[in-house]
Structure 1
Amino acid sequence: MNLRALISRGEGERLEFKKKTTHPTRISRTLASLANTHGGQVLVGVEDNGRIVGVRDAEEERFVLRDAAAHYVDPPLTLHFHEVETEEELIVLVVNVSESLTKPHRAQIAPGEWRSYVRVHNESVQASSLTEKVLAHEQPAASFEKLPLNKDELRVLDYLKTTQPRITVAQYTKLINVSRRRAYRTLIKLVLHGYLRYHDKEKEPYYTL
């Protein structure tokens, strides 16, 4: 694989950089969020800014990651690893996480405390109970993308292209004249499958293309 080309893309929905894995609870959120969304890769031995620092002990990193996937994510995950050596003889551990068929996966953040996460851009975002229900009924993205969108889903995409660059749940509820719950489920579904982007940095979250 072309490691430097991959790193040059930067962190995103399917790619995470980690200098090292220090404890299973820290990495479990990333693993769960990738499995709950579209899957992806974790590059261990790469700093947040993309600088390659390598890992000191790849086998130790594997141990922590396997421990996290088996005991700190529920249901457990199976990870796939391979190593890439740079010209400077630095080792980067590439961790592949597949999109899951048994969503939602929850990560243990404290003893007896479990939370679900989804991937939004380059962050692992805690999922609401409603999002968990959506995840439980989702098919993998590859299957979803082959299906045509329904009229309500197409309408929000058209609205964002031709009317306003952003939309809230309240606005979408009025636009298609449905319950807030149904509007939220539709928007979350479109986020999880890559059609919309979710923004929560303002007082009221909103969605864009």
Structure 2
Amino acid sequence: MGRYTGPNCRLCRRAGEKLFLKGERCYTPRCAVEKRRSTPGDPSRRRRRPTDYGVHLLEKQKAKYIYGVMESQFRKYMADAFEQPGVTGINLLRSLERRLDNVIFLLGFADSRKQARQMVMHGHFRVDGHRTDIPSFQVGVGHSISWKETDKATDYFKERTDGIPKRVVPPWLVLDQSDMTGQILNLPADEDLQQSINSRLIVEFYSR
């Protein structure tokens, strides 16, 4: 199955909560979840109580929606998490958090992970000075992330620079506002991971 190209707000309504897929709009009254709390579909149909399988499936889908990962890629993340030492669910979320497109979003260089993914694919960023156009690239401790030099003359870059002071950057990242570069200080701690995802349910889903 290919990448989902429909309305992002529909995914939030399907999950029953805000997944913050559309940047600033998600923080305004225009957010679809604020307007319509019901799930997508015919409102006249009776809503069934979710099964145990459905609860586990929804949690897995929610993680895929948030990080913009397709099923085959998500399975690979899950397989790697099972092989690594430590808590499987934490391993999974830590790998997802370390995706380059996610780090670009967390640093405030893009309004959403979807936008960050497009910018990475178009070659707008450098990792340790090298062009890296793979959104799933796993950043490591000590990596430095910078913009393509020619981008610094664009209106978008100036817009980002003005808005950066409002951004709260996770403690495992450091942002140098003077030249708009980011650095990976350490691996994300448990409390730095996506708190809205119940990784235990995802691990149980793939352990069936």
Q: TM over 0.5, yes or no?
A: no
Question: Which protein is richer in strand relative to its size?
Answer: 1
TM-score scaled by length of structure 1: 0.27
Question: Which protein is richer in helix relative to its size?
Answer: 2
TM-score scaled by length of structure 2: 0.27
